[in-house]
Amino acid sequence: MTIDLSPEKVYPLVSALLFAGVAGVTLLGALVAAASRRLVYSVSGLALSFVGLAGLYLYLQSPFLALMQILIYIGAVCIVIMFAIMLADVVEEKSARSRALPAAIAAFLVAAMLAFALIALIGRTAWMPKAVRVNAGAVQDIGRALLTRFGFAFELISVVLLLAILGALVVARTGRGNNRE
């Protein structure tokens, strides 16, 4: 028996395996983030999920987005969340007791509705055809799009971030008002 290793046979298989791998990592990370009792594990799971997401971007031929995903979401977001956990000194495990039944049912319903809506959306969207050309100028394209077509959203987000920083400063400087003499 000979194994056919021509590129036409191998590439789709490798591609499918790769996709299964990165999607699996994303889901696994998300599961760990949602299911674990310890916050440190949750953040680690989140980080794993972000790595998987970066893999998905890479799979979709957007290496720039993939690297940005790692740089920003792991390098900044996860680290800051971890920092917050450390500062907040959460009493772990014990506080995360299983929820009451009504709350669990409500949570399940909300999650189910969200999942249904997303799946319905995926089903109804008219997907664009597969990109024919590998986009070499992704950085330039993203930059141009951010500063022209999405300029307004871009500026709004910076205003939101600025407000968040100012708010954090105010809270840090004066406190929330309670437990002060």
Partner 1 sequence: MTEGMLMNLVRLLLYLVGMIGFAAFNAAYLTLLERKQASWMQLRRGPTEVGPWGLLQPVADGVKLMSKQLLLPRDVDVPLFLLGPIMVVVPPILCLVTIPFSETVVARNYNLGLLMIFAFGAVSTFALMLAGLASANKFSSIAAARIVAQNIAYEIPLLVIVLSLVMTTHTFNLHTIVAQQAGGFWHWNLLKLGANPLMPVAFLIYFICLLAESNRAPFDMVEAESELVAGVFTEYSGMGFGLFFIAEYVNIVVGCCLATILFLGGWHCPFGLLPGLHWFLIKMYALCVMVVWVRWSFPRTQFYGLLNLSWKYLIPLALANLLLTAVMLKLF
Sites of contact with partner 1 (CB under 8 A):
5, 7, 38, 40-41, 44, 47, 63-64, 67-68, 70-71, 74-76, 78-80, 82-83, 86-87, 136, 139
Tell me how many degrees the CA angle 81-85-93 measures, rounded to the nearest 5.
125
> Nearest approach, Cβ of 13 to partner 1 (angstroms)?
13
Shortest spacing between CB 137 and partner 1, in angstroms: 10
Contacting residues for 61 by C-beta, under 8 A, at least 6 apart: 131, 134, 135
Listed residue (63, 34, 39) closest to 49, CA to CA? 34
Neighbours of 113 (CB within 10 A): 10
User: Helix, strand, coil: what percent of the chain each, to 5?
Assistant: 75, 0, 25
Distance of closest approach, residue 6 Cβ to partner 1, in angstroms: 9
**Between 23 and 77, CB nearer to partner 1:** 77
Q: Which is nearer to partner 1, 115 or 135 (CB)?
A: 135
Q: Hey, what amino acid is at 105?
A: I
Backbone angles phi, psi at 97, to 5 degrees: -75, 165
Q: How far is the CB of 98 from partner 1 (least distance, A)?
A: 22
Closer CB to partner 1, residue 44 or residue 60? 44
Closest to partner 1 by CB, 79 or 115: 79
